[in-house]
Structure 1
C-alpha cells in the first residue's frame, strides 16, 4: 500500500480548498513583487564589465607639476575626497543603429587618451610636498575608465527613488589615501549602458584638488570634440583602427564580469546642496587681496535661497587661479589651486550686491554631443567628502572676462 503524503492541512487531495487558497495567495504575492516599484528597483544591478586606464597619447616632459597651496597645513584626509560628480544621460539618436558596446568602449578610451594629451594634468596624481602643500604630478598615470551595464532601461533608472544616491553607481570613486596618494586615481569615468532602450550614461568623479567644476566641464567638452573628430576621420579615411580593434578581446569571448553590485547597496556620499553664482572681479577680490568676503557672501545668499535657518560657522574655500606659466624651473602654475578656511561672516554688501545666481548649465555640459546626440539630462553634484557641518566654496575664473563662477555647498 502506497502512502500519499498529506498536505499541511492534513488532506491528501490536490483539490483541497486550503491548498488552493495557499496557491492563490502565493500567486498574488508573486504578482505584487513583480509590479511594485520598490521590488523593481531592488532588482536593478550594475555590472562592471571592464576596468581600464586611459593614458595620454603623448609623453609629458619630466618635472611638470601644478601647485595645490594649503593656507593652513596639513590638509586633512577628508579634504582629498571632495569631488565633482557629473552624470550625463543619453538616448540613441533617432534612426541610428545601436552601437556595438565593445567597439564604442574602444572609441571612448582612445579619444579620451587623445584628449588627455592636450590636458595632461587630468591624468596626473596627487603628491604631498615637504612644506605641507600638495601638487599634481603630471606623470601620465592616466584616468581610470570603467565600462558597465545596468539591468534597467534608462526610463526605469531615472524614475527610481533616490536618484542622487543611486547615481553613485554610475560615477565611481575610491578614496584617495593620504599616505599613498600616488596609487590613487583622482579622476574616474564610467560608460554605463542601460538595457532595452539604447540609453547610456557617462559618469565622472573628479577630485577638487585636481580640477574644479568649470575646468572639468571644459575638459569633457574637449574630449567630446576629439571623440567626434576621430570617428569622422575613421569614416572618411580608412584608418588602421579596425585592425587595431582586433587586438582587443571582445567581452563576449570571456563572459566574465569584474563584479555585479545591486544599485540599492550603494551608500549615499553625504547630503549637501549647492548653489552656483556668477561674480564680478571686484566682488572676487573684496578689496583685501583674498576671496573670504566673496565666500561668506555666497554662503549667505545660498542659505537664503535654500531656506536654511541655521548657517554654517566655518568655510573651506578653494580658489583656482587663471592659467599661467611660471618661470623656468618653477612650479607649473596652470590653474594653481589654493585651499584655505575662514569664518562664514563678514561677506560685505559690495560682494553680495554683485552676485547673480545662475544655473549649472553655465558649465556647458548640456551641449556635450556624443554620437550625434545631446544629453537628455545632466546631473551635477559637489561631494564634500564628510566635511561635517562645514560649508565649501569653490571660486573659478571664467575666461578672461574678469568674472568668476562660484559654487557654495552647504550640508542639508
Structure 2
C-alpha cells in the first residue's frame, strides 16, 4: 500500500467514544486558577506510544483499550483535575478556573486498516503521521465548561499491535507532571492485569459492527494536520530562575542559536512556579523581552537537556515488560505564537521549555 498522510487518515475509524471519571467521586472538589489563560487556552501536550503485540493475539488492542479505561479510573483518583472542566474564574477577566467536577476524561477507541510496521516504515522514511494517532478537540473559548481537557486515543492495528495517544491541555498539567502521571497509570494498569487476569473486563466491547458502519476519524487534531512544534528544553538552578522574563529571554536566544529557528514575534510566557493552585500566563512581544536590561540575566546559567532524557516515555510498559516500539512527545497549538514554559520541577532545579509555534 502506497502510504501518504491522506491515505493513512482515511484508513482510521472510530469504534467507540466514552468518558471516564475517577473511580470514586471527588470530595471535596478542588480548583486551580489560571491567570490570563486565554493566551495558552489552545496549547496542549501530546504523547504517543506504539506497541507490538507480543501475545500473537489479534484482539490484543481491544483488550488493552478495555483495560485502559478501567485503570484510568483508578489513576484519575489522585489527579481529578484531568477529569475536570474550565470555567470563568470568580474575579473575571481573562482568568479561568479548573474545577475537579468529575465531568470525565475522553477516550477514543479507533481501528487502523493497516499494520503497525507500515506506520513505522512511513515515519522512518520521512513521513509525519504521529498526530493522526492522538485525538484532541480544541477548547471552546466561549463555553469552556463543556470541553474535556484530557484525551486518550487507543488505536488497534490490523496486526494486533496498538498505540496509546495522549493529549492534555497545558492549563491542567505541565509535560513533566503529566509524564509522571502516565508512568504511574501504566503501573496501575499492570497491577490490575495481574490481579484480575481471570476476570472479564468491564469495558470490553467486542468488535461486532460491520466495517462499513465505522465512522472515519476526521475530527479533532487529526483533521487539523498541524505538524508538531519544535521545542527545546533547558534546566537551570532554581535560585537563578527568580526573574521569569529574563530567564525566558536567555533561553529563547539559546534555542534560536542551537536549532537555527526564529521565535515568532508574539511570545506566551507560562510560569508554573510558586503556588501550584495559581499559574500565571503572560502574553507579550519578544521585543518587550529583548528590552530587558542585560544585567538581569548575567548571573544565570541554563543547560540544554532532551525530551527522551527528561520524559523517559520509551520505557513505559502498559502490558508486562512490553516496551514501546516507538515513542514520541510534542507540544502543539492552533495559535501562531511562541511559548516559553517555566516549571519549578524541584527546589533545586527549574525546567524551561521553549516552543517555537
Does 2:83 correspond to 1:127?
no
* Aligned match of 1:9: none
How many residues get paired? Answer: 345
State the alpha-carbon separation in 1 of the partners of residues 267 and 74 from structure 2: 38
State the alpha-carbon separation in 2 of the partners of residues 250 and 169 from structure 1: 23
Does 2:255 correspond to 1:307?
no
- The question of whether the paired residues in 2 share the 8 Å contact of 1:297 and 1:352 is answered with no
Query: Bigger shift: 102-111 or 340-349?
Result: 340-349
Deviations 1:131-160 (A, max 9, x none): 221111011111100111112222211232
* Aligned match of 2:272: 320
The gaps in structure 2 that reach 5 residues or longer are none
State the alpha-carbon separation in 1 of the partners of residues 318 and 196 from structure 2: 15
* Aligned match of 2:19: 53
- The question of whether the paired residues in 1 share the 8 Å contact of 2:136 and 2:167 is answered with yes
TM-score by length of structure 1 reads 0.75
Q: What is the Cα deviation at residue 110 of structure 1?
A: 0.3
TM-score by length of structure 2 reads 0.86
- The question of whether the paired residues in 1 share the 8 Å contact of 2:61 and 2:162 is answered with no
For the aligned residues, what is the CA RMSD?
A: 2.9
Q: Flag the structure with larger Rg.
A: 1
- The question of whether the paired residues in 1 share the 8 Å contact of 2:250 and 2:297 is answered with no
Q: What is the Cα deviation at residue 168 of structure 1?
A: 2.3
* Aligned match of 1:4: none
**Which of the residues 313, 317, 321 maps onto 1:369?**
317
SS of residue paired to 1:104: helix
State the alpha-carbon separation in 2 of the partners of residues 215 and 190 from structure 1: 20
Does 2:340 correspond to 1:393?
yes
Does 2:282 correspond to 1:282?
no
- The question of whether the paired residues in 2 share the 8 Å contact of 1:293 and 1:351 is answered with no
Query: Bigger shift: 333-342 or 53-62?
Result: 333-342
Does 2:147 correspond to 1:184?
yes
Equivalences for 1:12-411 in 2 at 5 Å? Answer: 36-38=2-4, 41=7, 45-70=11-36, 75-76=37-38, 79-93=40-54, 97-131=57-91, 132=93, 133-160=95-122, 163-164=127-128, 166-196=129-159, 198-235=160-197, 241-242=199-200, 245=202, 249-252=205-208, 257-261=213-217, 266-269=223-226, 272-286=229-243, 291-308=244-261, 310-321=262-273, 334=276, 336-342=278-284, 343-345=288-290, 346=292, 350=297, 354-361=301-308, 362-371=310-319, 372-386=321-335, 388=336, 390-400=337-347, 402-411=348-357
